[in-house]
Amino acid sequence: MGAKTEHSSLQTKCDDLEKRLGESEDRVRRLLLQLDEKFEELALLNGLLRAMGASKGIKEILQLFATNLKRLCPFDRLSIALYNHETKKFQVPFVARQGQVMQNEDDPLPFDDQALREVAEQGKPQLRDNIKDTKVHFKTDTGYIRRGYACELLFPLEAGGKVFGTFNIGCYEPGRLDERHKRLMSELIACVSLAINQYIKSRGDKPISGVFQAVQLPPRKP
């Protein structure tokens, strides 16, 4: 009887050890997969940063993202909105859909009553993962939803303590954008801001230079 009990106890320990080994193998596989994904992200980020340095303007920067961004972040629409302090509106010169950048034919966006204003005034990115179900609605949401967009991720473009525009990512499917995309894109947006601001300054002619500079950010909390 004692031998049988001992054998049963050993078998239980062996089963438990085998289970733990299996769980450890699963964790290792997940970690390796995460590392592979991280290496790919870093390689793409590095490529985008180098290519941005050689870009000649806003359209080229947007095309660069339209061509490469899907491996990092899903999107159905990309745009760069520049705030015009003379008209008090956001002008969107180009939009990217299906990997192609095109001239935007829409009217400028009003500064009031829309998500871009919050992003510009707070100087912080904003994730709206389900626009229809969000607690805060803006007038411009109606047209956005009518076009089929369900979630968006908005980033301020900042230079010298001022926000001069926003970088905007939109998706048709709710929940397609999340905090991971927000974190990942934040690493790029500072470089986008620098590249576009340098382009605006290099133009030296109106209506680009001197007009598209705008919203003074509130003092940073210590």
**68 Cβ contact list (under 8 Å, min separation 6):** 44, 47, 48, 51
Residues 212 and 113 reside in one and the same domain: yes
Residues 41 and 126 reside in one and the same domain: no
Residues 43 and 68 reside in one and the same domain: no
Rounded Cα distance, 181 and 2, in Å: 59
CB atoms within 10 A of CB 33: 10
Structural domains of the chain, count? 2
Structural domain for 4, as ranges: 1-54
Kind and range of the H or E run holding 65: helix 58-68
Tell me which of 34, 54, 74 is where a domain ends.
54
Q: β-pairing, 126-128 with 109-110?
A: unpaired
Q: What pLDDT score does 56 carry?
A: 66
Residues 88 and 25 reside in one and the same domain: no
Largest CA distance in the chain: 96
Nearest CA-CA partner of 168 in 52, 78, 33: 78
**169 Cβ contact list (under 8 Å, min separation 6):** 73, 75, 77, 78, 152, 153, 154, 177, 181, 185
In a domain, 105, yes or no: yes
Q: What pLDDT score does 7 carry?
A: 60
Residues 133 and 212 reside in one and the same domain: yes
Residues 44 and 73 reside in one and the same domain: no
Q: What pLDDT score does 211 carry?
A: 45
Where would I find the beta strands (DSSP E) of the chain? 77-84, 89-91, 94-97, 100-103, 109-110, 126-128, 151-159, 162-171, 215-216
In a domain, 39, yes or no: yes
**Residue-by-residue pLDDT tens, the chain, 222 positions:** 456 666 667 667 676 776 776 767 777 777 766 667 777 777 766 766 676 666 667 888 888 888 888 777 889 999 988 888 777 888 888 899 888 888 887 788 877 767 888 888 888 999 999 988 876 677 778 888 888 899 999 999 887 777 888 999 999 999 999 998 998 888 788 878 887 877 777 765 444 444 454 444 444 444
Q: Are 134 and 118 in contact (CB under 8 A)?
A: no
Phi, psi at residue 127, to the nearest 5°? Answer: -105, 125
Geometric angle at alpha carbon 192, from 61 and 42, rounded to 5°: 95
CB atoms within 10 A of CB 163: 24
How many CA atoms within 13 Å lie on the side-chain side of 1? 0
Predicted confidence (pLDDT) per residue in 8-36, tens digit: 676 676 767 767 767 677 777 777 666 67
The CATH number linked to 72 is 3.30.450.40
Residues 115 and 5 reside in one and the same domain: no
In a domain, 222, yes or no: no
Q: What pLDDT score does 218 carry?
A: 44
Residues 168 and 75 reside in one and the same domain: yes
Residues 187 and 210 reside in one and the same domain: yes
- Secondary structure of residue 29 in the 3-state scheme: helix
Q: What pLDDT score does 208 carry?
A: 44
Q: What pLDDT score does 210 carry?
A: 43
Q: What pLDDT score does 177 carry?
A: 94
Rounded Cα distance, 37 and 104, in Å: 34
